[in-house]
Amino acid sequence: MGHSRPVTARIPLPDGWADRPFRIGDAVRAGVSTSRLDGGDLDRPFWGIRTPATGSATPAGRPQNYPARRSDVEALCRAFQVRMPKDAFFTHITAALVLGLPVPGRLARLRPLHVGCVAPGRAMVARDMVGHSLRIDPDDLVDRGPVRLTGPARTWLDLGALLTRGELVAVGDYLLYWEAPILTRGELADALEKYPSRSGLTRARTALPLLRTRSESPRESMLRVIIVLAGLPEPECNYRVFDEQGRFLARGDLAYPEYKLLIEYQGDHHRTDRAQWRADIRRIGRLEDHGWQALQFTDDDLQDPAALVARIALRLRARGR
């Protein structure tokens, strides 16, 4: 009868090390062997760094184009911080993801991390990160747990170098949203004045007047920007429609009340959710019964702004503009 092989217990790490990221060099100096550092209970998110393994697919093991989750970005930041100078901080896309801002999917990636240092200090250089040397006031840095990063106003300003104007407006609308504002339009204007030499400043200056407080989704914001920049009248955001007796009929993403025309962005859940699809049909029927029309657009339409604007202009003319 065969005998099973005994399970060899892992050599314990120094107190506290099994719960936090650490540098290999520090571990070796503390007496941890290199073979122990290769144990399966440790992940390798960056060269020279070990972190406790999560027991599932980890940020270190995911492909570079994997859509970033906020918790994964925070974990990666905590790991990289053990190699960062004390005055360094996270910026740009990385800061935006940690802050929970609506970063466009093409940029919402775990890597590279964006790391800043205070100018005239030299920007960090390392694999899987982008270094920035920035002039920044300490008051424009915030802490999210152990992670230090640029605050919302400065992050929005830095994103001006990476996002389109519509995308930048979408982030700004999120920051100003009336039910839970993160900051004010004045704070964004102050950031523009405080850092007049920032990359992307022109885009941020042109985006600021387009920000609104009642937009509820990034795509809705981008749709509104396309309409306004084309020279059409600006529609009202999240307009509530009532019938002649004051009974609520519907709320539209964007609306021209004078012409009884709604402009709406339809995400895929309107197609894939059966209950949502049926509710949409009933809703449009109620609006049509009271003389309203609805123009619906999808993400594909946002890729062809000229055709989108032409449809809206045609419908406005047909309704008396």
Q: What is the DSSP string of 254-294?
A: EEEGGGTEEEEE--THHHH-HHHHHHHHHHHHHHHHTT-EE
**At which of 56, 84, 107 does a domain end?**
56
Nearest to 222 by CA among 243, 202, 233, 207: 207
User: Does any domain span residue 61?
Assistant: no
66-106 residue pLDDT tens = 567 899 999 999 999 999 999 999 999 999 999 999 999 99
Residue 56 has a pLDDT of 44
Nearest to 53 by CA among 95, 28, 18: 18
Residues 181 and 224 in one domain: no
Residues 43 and 117 in one domain: no
pLDDT of 147 over the 90 cut: yes
**At which of 210, 228, 244 does a domain end?**
210
User: Does any domain span residue 6?
Assistant: no
In sequence order, which residues have a C-beta less than 8 Å from that of residue 30 and are 6 or more positions away? 14, 17
**Separation of first and last alpha carbons in the chain:** 91
Residues 76 and 138 in one domain: yes
Beginning with the edge strand found earlier in the chain, give each strand of the sheet holding 141-144 in spatial order.
129-134, 113-118, 89-90, 147-150, 141-144
User: Does any domain span residue 230?
Assistant: yes
User: Does any domain span residue 201?
Assistant: yes
Residues 245 and 158 in one domain: no
Residue 108 has a pLDDT of 94
**At which of 34, 56, 78 does a domain end?**
56
Q: What is the mean pLDDT of the chain?
A: 88
State mean pLDDT over 43-70.
Answer: 68
pLDDT of 227 over the 80 cut: yes
Q: Is the pTM of this model over 0.85?
A: yes
Show the domain range for 42: 20-56
**For the chain, how many structural domains are there in total?**
3
CA 174/CA 181 separation, integer angstroms: 8
User: Does any domain span residue 15?
Assistant: no
Residue 7: pLDDT band (50, 70, 90) is: very low
Residue 62: pLDDT band (50, 70, 90) is: very low
Q: Identify the three-state secondary structure at position 155.
A: helix
User: Does any domain span residue 4?
Assistant: no
Residues 133 and 223 in one domain: no
